[in-house]
Structure 1
């Protein structure tokens, strides 16, 4: 196997709320502490990376990775609508400087799901002026960091809600009297906790309402324009989630519906970006009635997703073909306690990516999800996606063999994948 492009970004990704700890001013933290919360357990101290980011970067850089995708926590930067924290901005400036000092390219995500409580209180993405509020926050961050940051991701998985609707995980257009009582009660408790009105206050995700989706589209456009105005050489994109949608007999129209609702509108907007982010973990089988469960295989994932690493190459090709944009793989990984399986999954995923590169697709980089075993939303700390294990009591970091393996792949710029493949064959 020949090497990947010389400028390829080999790295790992994280999200602020999942690793920093004690992001007490955002909507997700508020919901974590509501009675009957859908989250298995609160995030609490998470991985304490707010204080230990230099240690995390030391491990990443020592392994041989050359890039790091992380997110800025909006609620730290803007704890109230008209209050911006220069002290918190300085913290993220120090994080960026720590990357640069270690020869690591920072890739900064401006919104990885969590939004400030004040934003949720007034209607989250459905409120009037939501895009202007996001642009205001974006300008504050980019003005301070843009001299050291070239790569910007505006939104992480902005299509997550649309995917839930398109694949039938949530009912489309359910009337108020069809919503389960416990869901209505949870919404009311959340509104009470954040000091908002029932029917107005809401979590930012999943983004379901058509007006909210349009506001996110506008927010991305405005943020992109603001970043380019401030730093014309910056590279800007966003990272929709996408599976490899495969069709079973009779499922062709189902696939077209899913793509039309949850993927193509978001990729359409990427045509104006410098790159399209791709976040893929597995495939989705579609039949006439919707999603079809895959046949069990010997490999197991803690999430229950099918082991199917080849999905990444397929979605890279699809995203590039639709958008005519270079692809940046912003997330890919596997939740497993078996680190050998993690290595095998990642190797096979990267082989599928290299095949796409050989066929002419421009791929800019690969950011593994994730650097650290972290707090995984509704699942709490049960899902281990990380290249590094984290002790829940002491926060001690223990690199897994997969970190060293991916570092070797990075240092060889992909050449060691061929050796791995030869060993597997023998």
Structure 2
């Protein structure tokens, strides 16, 4: 086994359990290691740190899979997936769930989403991509799935020296499926939908609007395929308007409304939500409830401040569109903007909008996307409900 020895001075995070080893933390490498191969990592004093996969083309040179001297083979991946499934079963996430959430499940750079009997995989690092056949084999043994598809059309793969790609990892199947969530049904486009086709992480948060939606006039911005808005209609909203810039997303959102027989309450339009929020707040339009679920505004640390400015702007506009005593339902999925910074931004937006705010709910993602303390990237979703009143 090739041996990777770390510098004397490295970040404490590795000893504390973080699986990433950056290239500048490596002192020397004893032996030869091809990109994607398994290596042993040792601290400067020759104490064993862990075993993981190596890629000199990546800023993250090693991602640790285990802290034990255990063999990394097909059985290893079978056992890890079995453990992750047992956890989801215990906490009640079985029909649709994130089965593997990367580092949180000790499987760095691997995402597996389960939609009924269909599975969607992302292998976003070379060392994990090497084991894709073992991962597919384990899924077939544990679940006997109706289909497995890879959505590796993600730019991060190029940083690992890999191509973007997507396609069947099983016999071909109809990739337009319908899933159940909170008593509702939703179309999932596995091939063309964002990420793996559907955002499972907001499942529990969509239930949190049940009480405040009743009888409300609702505006939703950045709706994607309309899941929050359709929940609002289901929970008794008087009227719901959803906005998204994507014509395809809006078409699917309207199909979802029809699927649930809520299209008489819920309607979606394709338009730039940023412009609508700005213009409509100036025009004095008013709603009882405004929901904001924008995409990540940044994926790099250099643009964090720009992202915070963007989040502040849309939340300020959202507050101005609310009747006195209305509710703002707002989210951020940028893991680089941590919860404290998100709440500070909301506070600044309220002050600039001359509004008083009262926190109703503040949550993270659903528990099938577990948060592991010390792994910042696992604590990425912020979901907030506020009552907004005039000063």
Band the TM-score falls in, shorter-chain normalisation: 0.3 to 0.5
Q: Give the number of the structure whose residues are more often helix, by fraction.
A: 1
Q: Which structure would you say has the larger Rg?
A: 2
Normalized per residue, the structure richer in strand is: 2
